[in-house]
A and B are shown apart, each in its own frame.
Chain A
Amino acid sequence: MNRRSFLKTSAVTAAAAGLAPRVARAAVNPNPPKRFVFINLGGGWDSTYVVDPKPGFTTVSQAPGEMLDYGNIRVWNWRPKVLVSDPDTFVKQFFDAYAPQAAIVKGINLRSVSHDICAQRIYTGRQGGTHPDMATMIAFSKGFDLPVPYMILNGPAWAGPYGAAVGRVGETGQLRTLIDPASADYLSFRPDAQDEADIETFHRAVALRQQATRGSVGYNRARIEDFLESLGRGDRLRDLGKNINFGGNVTTIVEIFRYNLSMCVMMQGPGGYDTHGGNMAQGPMQDSVFEQMFALFQALEAEPDTVNGGNMLEHTALVLTSEMTRTPMLNGGQGKDHWPVGACLVVGAGVANRQVGETGEGQVAMPLNLTTGEVTGQDLVSMSSEMFCAGMLSLAGVDPYPYFQLTPPLAALHY
C-alpha cells in the first residue's frame, strides 16, 4: 500500500464514521525525533532491575542495589560500587549521561501473559499480528521516501499492510550479498548495471500493465503498487547500502543513519529474558544492553547530522522495551514468571524528561493522566497498549488518528 492509497483510505474511513470533525485530536510532537532505534529484550524483562524499582515493597521481590535519583526519573543500579576502583555499571554510566533526555513509561496494560500476544500488543497496540508495529507506522508515515524506511537488524517486526516499507539485514549480514552480488562466489551470472536498468524498465512496464488489468483497485492494486515501489527502493538500497558494512549493531545503526538508508532500526538486545528460573541473570543482561546503548549514543553524538544539522543524537530517539515484564515476586526456583504489565524506556531527541505512569504494590498498573503522565489528579485512565503505541506515533510527529482512530494517545511522551 502506498501513502496516497493509505491517506485516501483513512479519509474514507473517517468520513464514513462521521467522527473526524467531532474528535478533538491531541497535538503531535512539534519537535519530533527524525530517527528511531528500537531495542527489543526478548522473553520479558524484569523491569524492577532498572526502570521500575520497588525497594521496600512487601509485594515485590526487588534485587539488591541502590536507587539513582535523577530528578524527574529514578532508576535502579543493580550493582553499586563496593570499592572506589570498581567500574560503574553501564546502567549508571548511561543515565549519568542521558537521564535528562529520558522518559520512563510504566503500567502499560497488556492483558495477556503470552509472549506472542504481549509482543504484538506492545509493538502494534493490538493483537493478531496483522497490524503494523509502531516502527513501521512511523517509518511509513515519516520516512517513506527512504530506501528501507524500517530496517530490522534482528528482532521482531510486524509490517501489517506496509511490508514494502520494511527490510531485514539477515542473521549473518546477508543483505551485503543482495547489495553487492559480486561478493557471492556462488553466482554464475550477474547482470551489469546497465542490464539492471533495462530489467527495471521492463519490470515497470509489465507491472503497470498488470495494474491496469488485474490491479486497478483494492487488494491487488496495493500489491502491485508495493512491487513498483520496491523496485525503486531496491535500487536505492544497492546505491546507498554499498557504503555500509552491516557488521556490529552499533556501527551498522550509525552507518544506516549516516547514509540515510532508514528512519527506524530494530535490534534485539543481547540475552534471553524469559527467566522463569535464575532471575538474577537479568542484572548483567540488562547491563550489557545499556553498554550497547551507551556506545550507540556516544557514536551518534560524535556523528555529524548532514541532513538536519548538529549531531545525530540531537535527532534520534531510542526505545527500549520488551513484550512483558515479570511477576512481582520470585517463584520457588528463584525465577519470575510472566506479568501482563509493560514498561518502556524512551530516551533521546524530542522526549519529555519525566516518569509516565506508575505501578503500585504488586506491580499493578495505576491509572494515569495521558497528557502529564501523573497518576494523581484529574482525568486518570488505565493505559492500554493502543494508547501507548498511539503516543509513540505522537512523539514521532505522526498523527495517530488514521491508525488508532478514537484511541487517545499517551501524549505525555513529549512536551
Chain B
Amino acid sequence: MTKNKLLTFGILSALLIAGCEKKEEKELKPRDAEPPRADVAYLTDVQHLVRVSLDLRGTRPTPGEIAAVENAKDPQKKIRELAVKFMEDKRFRERVKEIWNEGFLVRQDRPYFPGPPQLLGLLTEDDFARAATQEPLELIAHVVANDRPFTEVVTAEYTVSNEALAAYYDITRPTDQGRGWVESQYTDGRPVGAGLLASTSFYTRWTTTDSNQNRGRANAWTRALLCYDFFTRDIIVDTNINLADPNVVNNAVRTNPSCVGCHQSLDPLASHFFGYFIPEDVGEGERSYPIKTYSADLEPRWQQGTGRDPGYFGNYALDPNLATLGEQIASDPGFSTCAVKRFTSVLTGVSVKDLELKHLPEIDRLHDWFLETDYNAKRLVEEIVMSNEYRIAGPNSLTSEADAEELHGLKLLSPEALNRMLRDITGNAKGNHPEGFGWKMESPMGYDLLENDIYGFRMMAGGYDGNFSTAPAHTVNATHILTLRMAAADASGRLVDEEFTKSREDRRLLSEVGDDTTDENDIREQLVLLNKLLYGEVVDVNHADVTDAYTLWSTVAARQDPIYAWKVTLGAMLSDVRVAFY
C-alpha cells in the first residue's frame, strides 16, 4: 500500500469510526416513556429533587442545589444533571448496597467468625460485622460506582476486600491503594471469574447441611440474582418415599414427579457450590486465621451430594465451575431483568411482584435501555429517577379510589437515610464536626445506633435485620415515631449550639437569625428557608406551615429562650410527616 493510499485509508477509517461513534451516541437514548397521566399528581421540581437526593445519597439537597433547580430554564434537565452528580457521591455506594441487600439479606450485625486476632482492639465489632458480611454488596457497589457492565458482578476476576476481610480469609489485597474496599484476589484455589459467586460472605449467611446439599444456597442465589424463588412453588409430598434412606431420596429427586419439578433445575445449580466448607466455628484454642473456607479438591463432592452434573437450567458447561456459572447467569435475560426490577422496586416503592404484574411495559423499556447501555447501572438508575412512575406524588381529583391505592406517593424514610440526613444536616465543613453528629457507640462495639439492631433502633425505625424481619417497613408505628423524635431532637440540639458559634454565612441552616432574634418577621423568614431546605417546599411567610412552626417557636421561646426554642422547633421539623415520608 502506498503512502497516499495509506493516508486515504486512514482518513476514511477515521471518518467511518467517527460516524459510527456519532451514530452510536445518537442511538443511545431510551425509548420514550408513557406520557404523564392526567389522573396522577406529580412531585414539583424541587420535591422531585429532594426525592432523588434522598434516594441516591440518603440525604437532602443543599441550598445551592435547590436554587439551581429553581433557577434552571429546564428544571428536569437540571435534576437529571444533579442525579448524575449524586451518583458520584460516595454515599451512593451505600445506597447501592442497601438496594441489593433487600435481595441478598447478607448484612448482619454480628460477624459469622470472631474478628481476626491481630485486629482485635484496632477495629470494632461493627467493623468486623460489616467486613465479614457485606462482601457481595461491596462488590456490586464497586461495579456500579466504576461504571462497569453490571454483568461483572458475576464474572469479575476479582473480589473486593478491606483490611479486615483480607485478614479473615485467604485474600491477597494490594497495600498500595489506600484503605477501604479494593479489588483483591482469593488465593485458595477458588475459581477466578465468578464475581460475587466466589465471595465468602454469601456462604456464611446461607449455610447448608449434609442433607440439604447446597440446595438452599442455590435458591438464595436465584432469588437474589434472578428474582426467582423455587420455594414459591407448592409442594405435594409423596408420602411413599422413605425419607430415611438417602438412596431412595436421591432417586426420588431424579424420578419422582412431585420432586423433579424443582430438583431438576435446583440440584444442578447446587452442584456448583460443593467447594465451600464453612467451619461452624473457630474455637478459642484452635483459632486459625486466615480461615479456610474453600477447596477445589472438594468441588466434585456433588457426585455424592446432589448426584447431578453442575448446570444452569438445562445448560451444561464443558468444564463447569463457579466461573462458568457466572457466565451463564450473566447471559441470562432473567438476570438483567431482575437487576432492573430490583433497582426500580426500591426506588419507586413498588414491590417486585407488583412490577411484574402491573408495570411490565415500563420494566421492558428500562430493560431495553439497560442492555443498550451495556448494563450500565448508573444510567439505568438515572432513567428510573427521571421517569414519571418515580415522580408520583399521589392521587388528584381525577383519580379513582381503586387507583389511589396503587399510587405510592409517600415513601418511608429508612433509618439509614435518616442517619445520613441528620449527619449531613448537623455536619458543617466550616465547623468542628464536618462529619456531623450521630449515635456511634464507643469501641469495642462501634455500632451506629440507627443502623444496628443489637443495641440500636434500626428495626424500631422501619428497617430490617434480615433474620426476623426480611424487608423494610413502608409505614410508621409508635417506636418509629419515638426514634425519629429522639434522633431529630438530639441532632437539632447539637446543630443549634454549633450554628450560633458561627457567622451567619458559615451556618448550615440558621442563617437568617441571631441567637437573640425574636422579631416575628425574622423568625418567619428563617422558617421559610427551613421549609425549602428541609422539605423542598417554597412557601411565603404567611403560609400555614410557617405559622404553625412560628407558633411552636414562640410558645417555647416564651417559656425558655430563643436558642432553646430553635432546638425544639428544628427537632420538630426534622421529625414531622414530611421527613418520615418523602
Residues of A within 8 A of B228 (CB): none
Binds A, one of B69-77, B233-241, B308-316: B233-241
Binds A, one of B120-128, B324-332, B382-390, B547-555: B547-555
CA distance A79 to B403 in the complex (A): 59
Residues of B within 8 A of A207 (CB): 576-577
Cβ of B235 and Cβ of A163 under 8 Å apart?
no
Residues of B within 8 A of A191 (CB): 489, 567-568, 571
Is A224 an interface residue, CB under 8 A from the partner?
yes
Cβ of B556 and Cβ of A155 under 8 Å apart?
no
Q: Which of B399, B468, B482, B578 contacts A154 (CB 8 A)?
A: B468
Cβ of A226 and Cβ of B477 under 8 Å apart?
yes
Is B363 an interface residue, CB under 8 A from the partner?
no
Q: How far is the CB of A233 from chain B (nearest CB, A)?
A: 4
Is A168 an interface residue, CB under 8 A from the partner?
yes
Cβ of A202 and Cβ of B489 under 8 Å apart?
no
Q: Which residue of B lies closest to A339 (CB)?
A: B237
Residues 433-484 (chain B) with a chain A CB within 8 angstroms: 437, 439, 453-457, 459-460, 468-471, 473-483
Residues 197-238 (chain A) with a chain B CB within 8 angstroms: 198-199, 201-203, 205-207, 209-210, 214-224, 226-227, 230-231, 233-234, 237-238
Is B371 an interface residue, CB under 8 A from the partner?
no
Q: Which of B211, B395, B549, B552 contacts A333 (CB 8 A)?
A: B211
Cβ of B485 and Cβ of A234 under 8 Å apart?
yes
Residues of B within 8 A of A216 (CB): 395
Q: Which of A189, A198, A224 contacts B494 (CB 8 A)?
A: A189
Cβ of B486 and Cβ of A181 under 8 Å apart?
yes
**Known A-B contacts A186-B439, A226-B475; A171 and B453 likewise in contact (beta carbons under 8 Å):** yes
Residues of B within 8 A of A195 (CB): 556, 568
Is A291 an interface residue, CB under 8 A from the partner?
no
Q: Which of B219, B243, B576 contacts A327 (CB 8 A)?
A: B243
Cβ of A226 and Cβ of B486 under 8 Å apart?
no
Could you count the A-B residue pairs with CB atoms below 8 Å apart for me: how many are there? 254
Q: How far is the CB of B495 from chain A (nearest CB, A)?
A: 10
Is B493 an interface residue, CB under 8 A from the partner?
yes
Q: How far is the CB of B415 from chain A (nearest CB, A)?
A: 12
Is B409 an interface residue, CB under 8 A from the partner?
yes
Q: Which residue of A lies closest to B545 (CB)?
A: A206
Binds B, one of A107-115, A313-321, A391-399: A107-115
Is B147 an interface residue, CB under 8 A from the partner?
no
Interface 0/1 of A324-339, CB less than 8 Å to B? 0001111111010101
Cβ of B477 and Cβ of A219 under 8 Å apart?
no
Q: Which of A170, A188, A329, A335 contacts B453 (CB 8 A)?
A: A170
Interface residues on chain A, number (Cβ under 8 Å): 92
Residues 237-252 (chain A) with a chain B CB within 8 angstroms: 237-238
Is A308 an interface residue, CB under 8 A from the partner?
no
Interface 0/1 of A159-171, CB less than 8 Å to B? 1010111111011
Q: Which residue of B lies closest to A12 (CB)?
A: B401
Residues 202-240 (chain B) with a chain A CB within 8 angstroms: 209-212, 219, 229, 231-232, 234-237, 239-240
**Known A-B contacts A195-B556, A198-B555, A227-B577; A112 and B231 likewise in contact (beta carbons under 8 Å):** yes
Is A190 an interface residue, CB under 8 A from the partner?
yes
Residues of B within 8 A of A156 (CB): 468-469
Is A309 an interface residue, CB under 8 A from the partner?
no
Q: Which residue of B lies closest to A16 (CB)?
A: B402
Cβ of A167 and Cβ of B478 under 8 Å apart?
yes
Residues of B within 8 A of A333 (CB): 209-211
Q: How far is the CB of A334 from chain B (nearest CB, A)?
A: 11
CA distance A91 to B494 in the complex (A): 54
Cβ of B482 and Cβ of A238 under 8 Å apart?
yes
Cβ of A170 and Cβ of B460 under 8 Å apart?
yes
Cβ of A202 and Cβ of B232 under 8 Å apart?
no
Cβ of A218 and Cβ of B395 under 8 Å apart?
yes
Is A147 an interface residue, CB under 8 A from the partner?
yes
Is A130 an interface residue, CB under 8 A from the partner?
yes
Cβ of A218 and Cβ of B244 under 8 Å apart?
no
Interface 0/1 of A122-153, CB less than 8 Å to B? 00000111100000000000000001100010
Is B408 an interface residue, CB under 8 A from the partner?
yes
Is B242 an interface residue, CB under 8 A from the partner?
yes
CA distance A172 to B437 in the complex (A): 23
CA distance A362 to B241 in the complex (A): 9
Residues of B within 8 A of A206 (CB): 545, 548, 576-578
Cβ of B481 and Cβ of A231 under 8 Å apart?
yes
Residues 494-545 (chain B) with a chain A CB within 8 angstroms: 494, 497, 544-545
Is A364 an interface residue, CB under 8 A from the partner?
yes
Cβ of B460 and Cβ of A163 under 8 Å apart?
no
Cβ of A209 and Cβ of B469 under 8 Å apart?
no
Residues of B within 8 A of A203 (CB): 572, 575-577
Q: Which of A127, A202, A276 contacts B548 (CB 8 A)?
A: A202
Is B404 an interface residue, CB under 8 A from the partner?
yes
Cβ of B234 and Cβ of A112 under 8 Å apart?
yes
Is B41 an interface residue, CB under 8 A from the partner?
yes
CA distance A191 to B555 in the complex (A): 14
CA distance A158 to B412 in the complex (A): 17
Is B405 an interface residue, CB under 8 A from the partner?
yes
Q: How far is the CB of A67 from chain B (nearest CB, A)?
A: 23
**Known A-B contacts A165-B477, A217-B395; A174 and B246 likewise in contact (beta carbons under 8 Å):** no
CA distance A205 to B243 in the complex (A): 63
CA distance A223 to B229 in the complex (A): 30
**Known A-B contacts A198-B552, A214-B410; A174 and B41 likewise in contact (beta carbons under 8 Å):** no
CA distance A166 to B412 in the complex (A): 16
Q: How far is the CB of B354 from chain A (nearest CB, A)?
A: 9
Is B348 an interface residue, CB under 8 A from the partner?
no
Cβ of B478 and Cβ of A174 under 8 Å apart?
no
Cβ of B231 and Cβ of A215 under 8 Å apart?
no
Residues of A within 8 A of B454 (CB): 171-172
Interface centre among B236, B545, B567, B568 (most CB of A within 10 A): B568
Residues of B within 8 A of A411 (CB): none
**Known A-B contacts A219-B409, A220-B407, A276-B211; A227 and B476 likewise in contact (beta carbons under 8 Å):** yes
Q: Which residue of B lies closest to A129 (CB)?
A: B471
Cβ of B475 and Cβ of A198 under 8 Å apart?
no
CA distance A165 to B473 in the complex (A): 12
Residues of A within 8 A of B474 (CB): 163, 223
Q: Which of B475, B478, B490 contacts A222 (CB 8 A)?
A: B475
Residues of B within 8 A of A102 (CB): none
Is A50 an interface residue, CB under 8 A from the partner?
no
Is A277 an interface residue, CB under 8 A from the partner?
yes
Interface centre among A174, A186, A329 (most CB of B within 10 A): A174
Is B288 an interface residue, CB under 8 A from the partner?
no
Is B580 an interface residue, CB under 8 A from the partner?
yes
Cβ of A163 and Cβ of B471 under 8 Å apart?
no
Cβ of A112 and Cβ of B576 under 8 Å apart?
no
Residues of B within 8 A of A202 (CB): 548-549, 551-552, 572, 576
Ordered by A's residue number, 7 sampled pairs between the chains whose C-beta atoms are within 8 Å are A164-B475, A168-B459, A181-B486, A187-B490, A188-B497, A227-B476, A340-B237
Q: Which 7 A-B pairs have the closest CB atoms?
A: A189-B493, A218-B404, A114-B231, A329-B244, A233-B478, A276-B209, A178-B482
Interface residues, chain A, CB within 8 Å of chain B? Answer: 59, 61, 111-114, 116-117, 127-130, 147-148, 152, 154-157, 159, 161, 163-168, 170-172, 174-175, 177-179, 181, 184, 186-191, 194-196, 198-199, 201-203, 205-207, 209-210, 214-224, 226-227, 230-231, 233-234, 237-238, 268, 276-277, 327-333, 335, 337, 339-340, 361-362, 364
Interface residues, chain B, CB within 8 Å of chain A? Answer: 41, 209-212, 219, 229, 231-232, 234-237, 239-240, 242-244, 246, 351, 353, 393-395, 399, 401, 403-410, 412, 437, 439, 453-457, 459-460, 468-471, 473-483, 485-486, 489-490, 492-494, 497, 544-545, 548-549, 551-552, 555-556, 559, 567-568, 571-572, 575-578, 580-581
5 more contacts with CB within 8 A, not counting A167-B460, A202-B548, are A170-B453, A188-B437, A189-B490, A202-B551, A335-B209
